[in-house]
Amino acid sequence: MKYIYDLHKTMLRQSLILVYEGEFNQEVTKSVLAMVERNMDSFGEEASIKRKVFNVMVECLQNICKHAESFDVETYGKNNAIFLIGKHEDEYIITSGNAVPNDKVPSISKKLENINALDKEGLKELYKSIIKGSPGLSEKGGAGLGFVDMARKSGQKLRFDFEPIDEHLTFFSLKSTISRTAKGGD
């Protein structure tokens, strides 16, 4: 049972407020948001920072709900994703991870690289063009609007990584940082 203590120490060392690993749906999303809200209220967090954190969290959680691919239950045991939020002295760090089909990796990577190459004004223009119905918007919102909104609200570059799982799936990790001091983001 030492792993429980080790996990606890890791969470403290990483300043994690909440970690959820499992199946994601609307009920889980509401619960996660409510728990983080209680934590932020207990910290006495400013309303403007709370709005940014919540906006990014909602986009991140919706991304998982809409786009996470099923793991092979026989091979991996569960169909799960992960969501973490940590609070450091001057920032909140929101991280998520979920499986995506290997053939989607280049498209996701290109969207994120394009978003990270833009400044504040460029993000605003891209957001407007997607909202106006640019081609590529799928029934799942595949034009990257959520990613653009996360970058706009955080005022920082989105960090991402892809770890191959097998010949069909890759684990996609996404990290967004929200400063508690700077006036970045909309």
As to burial, measured by CB atoms within 10 angstroms (0-12 exposed, 13-18 middle, 19+ buried), residue 27 is: exposed
Please state the φ and ψ torsions of residue 74, each to the nearest 5 degrees.
Answer: -60, -40
128 in Cβ contact with 145 (< 8 Å): no
- Residue-level pLDDT at 36: 92
Taking only the tens place, the pLDDT of each residue in 30-78 is: 999 999 999 899 988 999 999 999 999 999 998 888 766 655 545 554 5
The segments of the chain whose pLDDT lies below 50 read 73, 77, 137, 139
Residues 6 or more apart in contact with residue 46 via CB below 8 angstroms: 180
CATH number attached to the domain at 2-179: 3.30.565.10
Q: Which of 61, 51, 38, 31 is nearest to 174 (CA)?
A: 61
- Residue-level pLDDT at 94: 96
Q: Which of 60, 56, 61 is nearest to 152 (CA)?
A: 56
